[in-house]
Structure 1
Amino acid sequence: MGNTVFRRLSFLIAACEAEEWLPGLISKLLGQDHANEIEVVLASDDGVDLRTRLPSDPRLVHCPPAFRTGPAAARTRALVAASGSHVVQMDADDDVSDGFVEAVISALKVTPAVALRTVYVRGGEEVKRFQSPTLELGSLLDFYGSVICAAPRNWIRLYPAAIAEDVVASIAFLHRAGGRLPVVDADYRVRLHPHSFCAQNACSFTSAYRSGVVRAGWLAQEVGCPGIEAALIRMYRSRIAMSRAFDAFLLGGGEGDYHDFVQQHQITQSCLLERLGERGAHAPLNHVRLPFFTLAGGLIIKGSQSAGEERADQGSNGDADDNVGLCPVPVLHNEELKAGSE
């Protein structure tokens, strides 16, 4: 699609029981430099008329309140109400760094779309951060989290009703941009707390991700970007593998939330790759001692054990579509990866 000249940036905020965080987020957005070039579109999804809870400001746009329609429907209501040339979605309980608005708008004036640097935080402490200076499909999938994009309003038709609809939107924006987006040097902070979506639902994601694989073609049509079907299949299959690993971790007595688990697994994978590097690129995996724990057949194996021993002891779980590999992070098999490419 052709480039869209920047006029205004619309922040699309779906709000459900977020009154603890929302006033602070809005105050920060409207109080930063270049805030005269933005609007904040609020879609209440808990039945609360936010006009009675927030100060009056011409830059605040209120959608009619709805009740429990879900994040995708709320985001779509905000999208329809937006008047900006460009849009960016946000959650009401998230936060941004100082200078965030200026950084995003300055970038959008010289490039059609940008990715936001996601930082997951808990109690003010950083849990994980998107490190790459550019967003591509591979780096997005490797992050196992949300990387939000600011893009032209006409690059997306709606937010589809599906798990990880924010990631679906980012994949659509990536596709429109030719497969790569620069990452803005400002933080979009995702708050992890006991009432967050991930904290309450993380162990139930596996079946929802499987549904995403089945519905990938429909989702691509819904978002208005049929060319991303293969990428969506690849995304959901990678999420299935990590989610099943997390399910098994919990069943094995593990503690912590999904993002802690992902972060530890990625550290462990780096350790494994270093050991493989020490032995040469073609060293057989069953000669490498795996640190911490590994996964095989959906079961946790604690301690240090070779991959060959694990395979002999545990066998296969028989699920060819979303099998968990024998590295400390789930690894998709070749037949799972061939459905999508960057």
Structure 2
Amino acid sequence: MSDSNTTDFTNPSTFILLGIPGLEASHVWISIPFCTMYTIAILGNFAILFVVKREKSLHGPMYYFLCMLAVTDLVLSTSILPKMLAIFWFNSREINFSACLTQMYFIHCFSVMESGIFVAMALDRYVAICHPLRHSTILTNPLVAKIGLAVLLRGGMLVLPYPLLASQWPYCRTNIIPQPYCAHIAVVNLACDDTRISSYYGLFVLYSVMGLDGIFIAVSYIQILRAIFRLPTKDARLKTFGTCSSHLCSILAFYIPGLFISLMNRFGQNVPLHFHVLIANLYLLIPPMLNPIIYGVRTKQIRDRLLRLITH
């Protein structure tokens, strides 16, 4: 690598993405599962959108929120994988400064949006189980549209300071990012100024979003479980709880790796860097792949419609 990457400069025109440090020789092999996950995510989420659009019986709040989740997963995975595969296959490590900040914005914006959509889906399950007779009158199409707009605006506004602040810092250490994408903290760590405001704001977004969304989901499911346990028969309880199983699986696939990464970043100083990077990549790539599989397999209406379309 040239010396210009480590000499002093204040406004780098490009950053250098290293991919997965320490595993450069295995980049081609690592790309195979990553490319497979991306392909499954693209095909699965487009299949969800296609089935819901074609079947008028699926035009309801639960499936509208599922479509929002599918679009979010498509944008999130597409903002990461193409550049990552270019690094793995063609050693195309340079990324323009503006493109890096744009990628940073999309990654964090749509991660926040995904968390918000899970909250909206928890609200849908709460109303459907605790107030089944009023579900259609409470969650009307205009309200669903307003919830979707609120989720979009929250993600966009909360994450907007990330690139705005990052674009103001002077960069005089290096332009080498030891990751295959431009994460917020990885870019900010390259600045040679006091960047505590960016670090503190990043922590604020992380804990306020994950914390508040997690509390809302937990409260919703406490009320749901109370309503389920009041049902008279075991079969009724299992059937009702089964309507929440897909949502719960997706929540666990999204929040548990995020919590694990947060703990590892603070207490895993002895963990190798390449392990940190691999886990962070999987955290962003696994949910977009798993969500359509979970809902396609565990949601009977989607599974039946999809099988019918395939057989026809």
TM-score range, shorter chain: under 0.3
Which structure has the highest helix share of the two?
Answer: 2
Larger fraction in strand: 1
Higher normalized contact order (CA 8 Å, seq sep 6+, divided by chain length)? 2
- What TM-score results when the alignment is normalised by the length of structure 1? 0.24
